[in-house]
A and B are shown apart, each in its own frame.
Chain A
Amino acid sequence: MLTRLKGASIYDPVNNLNGVCGDIWIRDEYICEAPDSPEKADVTVDLEGRILMAGAIDIHSHIAGGNVNNARLLLPEQHMAERGAFSTLPFSAAKWSAHDTGYRYAEMGFTTVVEPAVLPINAAQAHAEFADIPIIDTAGLAIVGNDDFLLRMLRQREEQSRINDYLAWTLHATQCLGVKVINAGGATAFKFNQRQLLLDDEVPMYGMTSRQILNAVQRAVVQLGIRHPVHVHCNNLGIPGNVNTALDTIEAADGLPMHLAHVQFYGYGNDGASGFSSGARALADAIMKNSNITVDIGQVLFGQTVTISGDVMRQFDARHIASPNKWVVWEGEDGGGGIVPFRYRPKNFVNALQWAIGLELFLLIDDPWRVFFTTDHPNGAPFTAYPELFRLLMDRDYRNQWLDRINAKSADISLLPHLDREYDLNEIAIMTRAAPARLLGLDDRGHLAAGAIADIAVYRPQADKAAMFGKAELVFKNGALVVEEGKVIRSVQGKTHAVSPEFDRRIETTIGDYFDRYHLMKMDHYKLDPQHLLETLGSELVFH
């Protein structure tokens, strides 16, 4: 089947197409070269006046796993279904279900989404949920840095090559695309009743600092040749003055690639009468100066949401601000986490400033290849609020209207009134397509060259960017038309992406012995087997 998408304005930064009018050709699942004669097309879709981009990619969104699923259970009131919502697609009326996640992302033109916090012991459930998310492709990042086996190796000053073997084994066991470090050593310190862990604090019982754990993991990722740099959730999330933690972490990266997640939550100074201020300028400057650093924002948008995090220390600390007043904290073999519902209010000084700091960072970091579009779903806002964020970034007048509605003191001290920048379509295509594919090492997407997966989003140009990006006019997933006029018309099975770096298999003797001594299962039962995943969950893995 050969399809011609005819006459759209094409935004494909990788191939230097910045609104050029032209055709894109699809043969089956892939984008192909134009045939010698246009008459060869089986189907021609006239897209004159439309905007065409590769499918969007979300690098950090909590869409699966035990922590997310337990949040669904905790907060039924946040996702009540409504009459009339049903269609013939499975579970399309079940809000915040795996199915709903796939449908809602697809409607906006997103075709690949990464779950950034797969706890290894919970990896099977994460994959089971991935397999039930329709349409979009998925991937997970495996959490390391609070697992006793790694900390033990560091305590015994094992060689870096052994640490590399262990991390590669962890990816092999969890079938993930990269690794994530969450407050390195923090969950472990919390186990021993410590309530804060700074970058240079020692982790109790293990005698190494958070920085040393982070550095060891970062080196392993670089030496193993894993394309996605170590994905870091820094220490001290949400605490006034923590911009210094972020700056120290950037320095700790020592020129090697590192991704800092949801930096809005680390953009906080402690100046002023309230002891809470914007640290966005200093943070943005440091990011601009260090080209080895990439960040996503974790933008806050106003409304009810729930924070879901593997930073158990931070989530326990946040129990007092739970709204509604209920919270969950849990700990397990290789980490922990917590669920704290929260409502961001525009008239609240802190919330309004958080909102402003996120936008300041988006606008001050003048490199769309290194700053990524996230709300840390659902921590800053649910991903379903993305249309609002597109509009805030692309429409200065709209932003300024908001400045009149938020807490006056926050608006007053914010840099936003002085920031005129508006993201253009080319920058949006970089930030949400080209750059994420490059950052994740997924070369077959994020662009529209022949050979790429035919994941394509078509939008109708509108002054209201929220309306434009909220409902794609057409979306193709692997060449199949899945969305029309912002509505899912067909469901297809997505794939899950992973890496499998080489490692010295002899480490399995040591790990196997460790499991026999300290775990409730055998190592072989802990490792996910791709064949078993396929047979039971229908989960199709693609290795990069």
Chain B
Amino acid sequence: MLANASHPLIDGLIGDLLDCKAAARLAENFGGTIDHLHGNAIARNLRIYQQGGWLISSMGEVRNRADLVILVGEELEATHPRLQEKLFESPERLHASAPPAIHQLGHDCLDLLSVVRARLADKPVQSDITGSDELITQLSASVYPVFVIGCLPEQSAELIIRTCIGLVRDINETRRAALLILGSGEGDTTAQLGTTWNNGFGIRTSHARGFPEQDLEMHAGSRLLESGEADLLVWISSLSTSPPPQVRQSTLVFGHPAMVFTHGPPDIFLPVGVPGIQRAGYLHRADGLRMVPLHKLVDSTLPGSITLCEHLISQEPRTC
């Protein structure tokens, strides 16, 4: 199937570093494209990053030093369970005696953030907004405020993040502040960082023309499937039992052994070892600063996806 496909899409990537390396290798060898389940959110953040950069903190710094946390996004608990407990409620902190003040902002916080940014920069605002006084007072009183950004609705996410980046930049002209961007989980950070040192760019990189090209719009997995430009879906998901999307293309799955196929089985299902249970591996922490080692807990005969991929590549190596 891989050898006959003219443009395989390697998607999902709900796995660890080794799964992501396997994906990058497959894409290169078979002239395909890689993307992640949360490709839209990764691509949006990457676009913002590539346009201007940002000033960020780490999870450890928030845990030990932040005296004010502005939570941007409402469902942090769902994407990052135990975050509250680990980052904001630690009994002992390096540079503070009390836990940080938490200021929760809802999904509709764009206007508030814009007004706060303008007012802090002494720029005139057309109309003030409820809550800006309170946030300004808190920001002014804190030594190290951190904007923690979780999942945001697609239509407002970009502007909210850009406003937070600008606000943090402004504050840092005279004082300190930072962002902590947490992403969507499910291996998104590893998929992005771990493929970058292989293909140079990360996800949404295509090898269809024989060399890596990133295009955050054109190489979106969902678009390639809908348009039919991709003629084979390779779904890699060693960490999640959720099935691949239902598509008209043939589907090959390197999947969690307990994967449940609600719409019927794919053309080929290759169960693979689960990192952290059946094999060792590495997964990035949500802030990307640290790779967490995963250990093998039980003996298993299931191969890792990278072993399978290397085997497939050795059967059908690139010749040009």
Interface residues of A in 275-330 (CB under 8 A from B): 316, 322, 325-330
Residue count of chain A within 8 Å CB distance of chain B: 65
Q: Which residues of A contact B64 (CB under 8 A)?
A: 333, 518
CB <8 Å contact, B210 and A97: no
Using known A-B contacts A191-B176, A332-B58, A518-B94, determine if residue A66 contacts B288 with beta carbons closer than 8 Å. Answer: yes
Is A536 positioned at the interface, with any CB of B under 8 Å from its CB? yes
Is A64 positioned at the interface, with any CB of B under 8 Å from its CB? yes
CB <8 Å contact, B60 and A520: yes
Is B261 positioned at the interface, with any CB of A under 8 Å from its CB? no
Give CA–CA (A536, B95) in the complex, Å: 36
Is B63 positioned at the interface, with any CB of A under 8 Å from its CB? yes
Give CA–CA (A83, B65) in the complex, Å: 48
Using known A-B contacts A521-B292, A529-B293, determine if residue A69 contacts B196 with beta carbons closer than 8 Å. Answer: yes
Using known A-B contacts A328-B54, A333-B58, determine if residue A525 contacts B198 with beta carbons closer than 8 Å. Answer: no
CB <8 Å contact, B95 and A205: yes
Interface residues of B in 63-106 (CB under 8 A from A): 63-65, 86-87, 92-95
Is A519 positioned at the interface, with any CB of B under 8 Å from its CB? yes
CB distance from A524 to the nearest CB of B (A): 9
CB <8 Å contact, A88 and B58: no
Give CA–CA (A463, B280) in the complex, Å: 53
CB <8 Å contact, B289 and A100: no
Of B110-118, B221-229, B240-248, B312-320, the one touching chain A: B312-320
Of B43-51, B119-127, B155-163, the one touching chain A: B43-51
Is A124 positioned at the interface, with any CB of B under 8 Å from its CB? yes
With CB as the reference atom, state the residue of chain A lying closest to B318.
Answer: A88
Interface residues of A in 521-536 (CB under 8 A from B): 521, 525, 528-529, 532, 535-536
CB <8 Å contact, B51 and A93: no
Interface residues of B in 249-268 (CB under 8 A from A): none
Give CA–CA (A69, B284) in the complex, Å: 13
Is A500 positioned at the interface, with any CB of B under 8 Å from its CB? no
Q: Which residues of B contact A327 (CB under 8 A)?
A: 53
Give CA–CA (A84, B320) in the complex, Å: 10
Give CA–CA (A535, B18) in the complex, Å: 11
The residue that B290 contacts in the complex, of A99, A122, A330, with Cβ under 8 A, is A122
With CB as the reference atom, state the residue of chain A lying closest to B18.
Answer: A536
CB <8 Å contact, A333 and B198: no
Interface residues on B, range: 35 or more
CB <8 Å contact, A532 and B295: yes
CB distance from A37 to the nearest CB of B (A): 41
Give CA–CA (A261, B293) in the complex, Å: 32
CB distance from B191 to the nearest CB of A (A): 12
Interface residues of A in 96-115 (CB under 8 A from B): 96-100
CB <8 Å contact, B289 and A332: yes
CB <8 Å contact, B198 and A132: yes
Q: Which residues of A contact B54 (CB under 8 A)?
A: 328
CB <8 Å contact, A331 and B178: yes
Of A74-82, A373-381, A406-414, A444-452, the one touching chain B: A74-82
CB <8 Å contact, A88 and B172: no
CB distance from A5 to the nearest CB of B (A): 31
The residue that B198 contacts in the complex, of A85, A91, A124, A322, with Cβ under 8 A, is A91
Is B201 positioned at the interface, with any CB of A under 8 Å from its CB? yes
CB <8 Å contact, A326 and B51: yes
Q: Which residues of A contact B320 (CB under 8 A)?
A: 86, 88
Is B138 positioned at the interface, with any CB of A under 8 Å from its CB? no
CB distance from B92 to the nearest CB of A (A): 5
CB <8 Å contact, A81 and B213: yes
Give 1 or 0 for each of A52-65: 1 = CB within 8 Å of chain B CB.
Answer: 00000000000010
Is B59 positioned at the interface, with any CB of A under 8 Å from its CB? yes
Give CA–CA (A93, B317) in the complex, Å: 16
Is B199 positioned at the interface, with any CB of A under 8 Å from its CB? yes
CB <8 Å contact, B199 and A97: yes
CB <8 Å contact, B211 and A81: yes
The residue that A93 contacts in the complex, of B53, B92, B178, B211, with Cβ under 8 A, is B211
CB <8 Å contact, A316 and B172: yes
Is B55 positioned at the interface, with any CB of A under 8 Å from its CB? yes
Give CA–CA (A117, B32) in the complex, Å: 34
Interface residues of B in 18-58 (CB under 8 A from A): 18, 21, 24-25, 28, 46, 49-58
Known A69-B197, A148-B94, A193-B176; 13 more pairs at CB < 8 Å:
A66-B288, A72-B197, A75-B50, A86-B210, A86-B211, A94-B28, A98-B198, A128-B194, A128-B282, A326-B52, A326-B53, A333-B58, A518-B93
Q: Which residues of B contact A (CB under 8 A)?
A: 17-18, 21, 24-25, 28, 46, 49-61, 63-65, 86-87, 92-95, 143-144, 172, 175-176, 178, 192-194, 196-202, 209-214, 280-282, 284-285, 287-293, 295, 317-320
